[in-house]
């Protein structure tokens, strides 16, 4: 039996689900227009049921598909190391720290891209939820694979089955998920923990589902006996039975949210919300154009009923018999009925294209291309302005995903791997990182553009310095050229191992200074030798000639 704490949690979750029915209706409407595969919020689809049977054009679906696919291609490209774990700003990284963090990047990459980790599938599903509904629910947990041992398991959950609450700081502090596993699956997931009724059901009807609720709540709001910050609770709702109650070092669930509004813990997709009116419009316009086209190609026929013998055959090769005594001066016995709508088809096509362009704009498809540099004789200033414009347009798209999506998921995975010993014993952590927090930085078109902006700024600064030097030679000392060049090289994508460190540059500078001193000393010695030689020659010239000996 469940105690009062568990019943209270169930009641809280039930209330969250009941209060969000209007939100679920909105999700159903969005899914039917943009993501028909996911349109099962308010209805249950049978296997093999046709998707999108209510739509006349697939363009809104294609727009959502392209945006959802762009998230993974641009923010998580598997062809390169797209995330880097670094010490938080203000913490100085020494060489051992950089090497240890680089090692963790490699280990974590292998862990998430392991085939059984399910990372690619889960993030792919979440990307399209995020594009359509403005939020997604992912989970990351350590698990034991029957074939390969410990793995890091990722899954994406249906928004229909998950609700959450926020604390006063705007952070998610409780997650409630409905789950209906089969009796056999539930028994295997919690061996020795299910009730007798589930054990009987697993033998007789192994595929009959059991209602289960998974709740993750902050420990200080639930029970202070746990030293971990969160508590994970599995409850068998049908049989009122506690399956599991354990502490957790993380929230288990990562819930990225695109745009939120005050007063609600749920987010929305600015792309889908903006495109929804146009999606409805383009469906209606497409249906009208199809009808108009049918009328234009195969108009309805009118005729003189008494003069027509038999039926009217308007199909190719058809023959319609007409009374021979009919007088054609009274008008054609059989003629098409034109309503004049065929002349409006070009206007309708143009309006349809305008609606499609609006949908493409709403889904950022016109803003995802990076600005081309160096074409048409563009100056560095023009390239700079284009990159800044791309950043302004792409920032609403990439910023939430880098922080709340990729960042939160990678931090959770790192914490699980660290506590599981995947990075080796804690004694191997460099001293400079002991007790320090780390953060993930990501490679994306947005960060690439911001970095490339440094190259353009350096070139502009160089031009200003050249102009200023003609007026004031000392003005060039205002800029730390070495630091500026290093930032520009990093921004331009120069590999770090191509560049010398600051310590190496200081050694080179010291060696150059020593070399310069030696050259100056040699110059002084050479000059002194020349002076001595000149003095010796002068002394010899001034010396009196030796006397001539008698008899010589």
Note the pLDDT tens digit of each residue in 448-471.
555 666 777 777 788 788 888 888
Q: Does residue 84 form part of some domain? A: no
Q: What is the pTM of this model?
A: 0.76
| Same-domain check for residues 51 and 131 | yes
| Same-domain check for residues 14 and 71 | yes
End-to-end CA distance of the chain: 142
Residue with tokens 């206007």: 347
| Same-domain check for residues 164 and 46 | yes
pLDDT for res 305: 64
Pairing type for strands 137-145 and 301-303 reads: unpaired
> Do 80 and 295 touch, CB atoms closer than 8 A?
no
Domain range for residue 312?
A: 300-337
Cα–Cα distances in Å, from 248 out to 7, 217, 227, 228, 472?
21, 10, 9, 6, 64
| Same-domain check for residues 191 and 321 | no
| Same-domain check for residues 69 and 26 | yes
Q: How far apart are CA 116 and CA 316, in angstroms?
A: 59
Q: How far apart are CA 131 and CA 268, in angstroms?
A: 9
> Do 9 and 235 touch, CB atoms closer than 8 A?
yes
Q: Does residue 204 form part of some domain? A: yes
| Same-domain check for residues 179 and 224 | yes
| Same-domain check for residues 128 and 165 | yes
Among 290, 309, 337, give the residue marking a domain's end: 337
Would you give the distance in Å from CA 311 to the centre of its chain?
A: 63
Please write the tens of the pLDDT for every residue from 259-289: 999 989 999 999 999 999 999 999 998 888 8
Report the half-sphere exposure of 214 (CA within 13 A, side-chain side). Answer: 18
| Same-domain check for residues 121 and 192 | yes
Q: How far apart are CA 375 and CA 248, in angstroms?
A: 54
Q: Does residue 164 form part of some domain? A: yes
Q: Does residue 309 form part of some domain? A: yes
Q: Does residue 249 form part of some domain? A: yes
Q: Does residue 311 form part of some domain? A: yes
- Listed in order, strand segments (DSSP E) in 115-265 are 137-145, 149-157, 162-166, 172-179, 212-218, 230-236, 241-248, 253-254, 259-260
Domain count, the chain: 2
Q: Does residue 251 form part of some domain? A: yes
| Same-domain check for residues 172 and 134 | yes
In 3D space, the residue among 96, 207, 113, 196 whose CA is nearest the CA of residue 151 turns out to be 113
Q: Does residue 210 form part of some domain? A: yes
| Same-domain check for residues 263 and 314 | no
Residue 552 has pLDDT above 50, yes or no: no
- Cβ contacts of residue 13 below 8 Å, gap of 6+? 163, 176, 213, 215
pLDDT for res 266: 96
| Same-domain check for residues 162 and 235 | yes
Confidence grade of residue 339 (pLDDT, cut at 50, 70, 90)? low
Which among 96-100, 331-335, 420-424 has the top mean pLDDT? 420-424
Please write the tens of the pLDDT for every residue from 349-407: 888 889 999 999 999 888 776 555 555 556 666 666 666 666 666 667 777 788 889 99
User: Each residue of 307-321: b (16+ CB within 10 Å) or e?
Assistant: bbeeeeeeeeeeeee
Weakest-pLDDT range from 39-53, 72-86, 476-490: 476-490
| Same-domain check for residues 15 and 122 | yes
């Amino acid at each position: 039996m469940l105690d009062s704490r568990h019943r209270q949690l169930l009641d809280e979750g039930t209330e969250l689900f009941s209060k969000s029915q209007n939100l679920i209706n909105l999700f159903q409407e969005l899914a039917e227009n943009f993501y028909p595969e996911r349109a099962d919020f308010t209805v249950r689809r049978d296997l093999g049921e046709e998707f999108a049977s209510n739509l006349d054009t697939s363009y809104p679906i294609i727009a959502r598909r392209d945006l959802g696919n762009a998230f993974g291609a641009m923010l998580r490209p598997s062809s390169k190391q797209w995330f880097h774990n670094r010490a938080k700003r203000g913490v100085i990284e020494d060489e051992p720290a950089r090497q240890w963090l680089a090692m963790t990047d490699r280990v974590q990459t292998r862990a998430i891209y392991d085939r059984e980790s399910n990372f690619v599938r889960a993030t792919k599903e979440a990307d399209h939820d995020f594009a359509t509904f403005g939020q997604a629910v992912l989970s990351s947990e350590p698990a034991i694979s029957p074939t390969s041992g410990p793995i890091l398991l990722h899954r994406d959950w249906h928004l229909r089955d998950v609700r959450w609450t926020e604390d006063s700081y705007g952070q998610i502090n409780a997650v409630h998920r409905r789950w209906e596993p089969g009796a056999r699956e539930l028994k295997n997931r919690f061996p020795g923990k299910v009730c007798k009724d589930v054990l009987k059901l697993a033998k007789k009807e192994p595929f009959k589902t059991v209602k289960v609720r998974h709740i993750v709540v902050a420990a200080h709001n639930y029970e202070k006996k746990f030293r971990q910050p969160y508590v994970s609770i599995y409850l068998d709702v049908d049989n009122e039975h506690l399956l599991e109650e354990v502490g957790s070092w993380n929230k288990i669930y990562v819930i990225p949210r695109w745009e939120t509004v005050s007063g609600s813990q749920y987010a929305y997709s600015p792309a889908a919300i903006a495109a929804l009116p146009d999606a409805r419009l383009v469906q209606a316009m497409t249906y009208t154009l199809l009808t108009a086209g049918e009328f234009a190609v195969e108009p309805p026929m009118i005729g003189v009923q008494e003069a027509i013998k038999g039926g009217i055959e308007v199909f190719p090769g058809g023959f319609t018999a007409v009374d021979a005594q009919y007088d054609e001066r009274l008008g054609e016995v059989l003629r098409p009925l034109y309503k004049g709508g065929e002349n409006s088809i070009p206007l309708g096509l143009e309006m349809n294209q305008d609606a499609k362009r609006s949908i493409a704009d709403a889904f950022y498809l016109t803003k995802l291309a990076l600005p081309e540099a160096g074409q048409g004789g563009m100056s560095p200033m023009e390239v700079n302005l284009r990159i800044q414009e791309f950043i302004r347009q792409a920032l609403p798209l990439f910023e939430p995903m880098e922080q709340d999506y990729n960042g939160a998921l990678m931090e959770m995975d790192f914490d699980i791997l660290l506590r599981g010993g995947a990075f080796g014993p804690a004694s191997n952590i460099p001293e400079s990182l002991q007790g320090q927090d780390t953060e993930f930085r990501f490679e994306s078109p947005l960060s690439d553009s911001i970095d490339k902006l440094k190259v353009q700024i350096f070139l502009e600064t160089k031009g200003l310095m050249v102009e200023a030097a003609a007026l004031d030679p000392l003005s060039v000392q205002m800029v730390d050229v070495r630091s500026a060049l290093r930032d520009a090289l990093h921004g331009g994508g120069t590999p770090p191992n191509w560049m010398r460190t600051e310590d190496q540059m200081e050694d080179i500078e010291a060696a150059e200074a020593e070399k310069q001193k030696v050259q100056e000393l040699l110059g002084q010695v050479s000059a002194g030798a020349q002076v001595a030689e000149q003095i010796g020659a002068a002394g010899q010239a001034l010396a009196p000639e030796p006397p001539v000996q008698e008899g010589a």
